[in-house]
Amino acid sequence: MKTSLNNIRVIEKFLDGSLSHDESLKFLTKMSSDQGFRNILNLHQSALALLRMYHRKKLKVILEDVHHKMMTNPLNATLAQDIKNIFPQ
């Protein structure tokens, strides 16, 4: 288990660009010679992509809710009209 956690830590550092030059060379050597390590890297990248997609969708829902509340609140009628004038449909 400890080796797997170390692999994940090194992969995280590689992906965020925080490995030293020597560490990067060691990482690339391990990646080219160890199929299991490449698999872990690919799975990690897929998981990160899914997380980004999830957060983008969640943010979109939040922004749509804020937009709806802002545009339908009678107190914001002038602002809503100004926005509609700037971005006509």
What does the pLDDT look like over 10-42, one tens digit per residue? Answer: 999 999 999 999 999 999 999 999 999 999 999
Q: Look at 1-10, 42-51, 54-63 and tell me which has the smallest mean pLDDT.
A: 1-10
- Give residue 37's identity as a one-letter amino acid code: F
What is the distance between the alpha carbons of residues 86 and 53, in angstroms, rounded to a whole number?
A: 30
Number of domains in the chain: 1
Residue found under tokens 């995280």: 12
Please give the DSSP secondary-structure letter assigned to residue 75. Answer: G
Residue-range definition of the domain harbouring residue 27: 2-86
What is the distance between the alpha carbons of residues 9 and 22, in angstroms, rounded to a whole number?
A: 16
Instruction: Tell me, rounded to whole angstroms, the distance of Cα 4 from its chain centroid.
Output: 22
**R_g of the chain computed on alpha carbons:** 23
pLDDT of res. 3: 61
- Mean pLDDT for all residues in the chain: 90
pTM score over 0.75? no
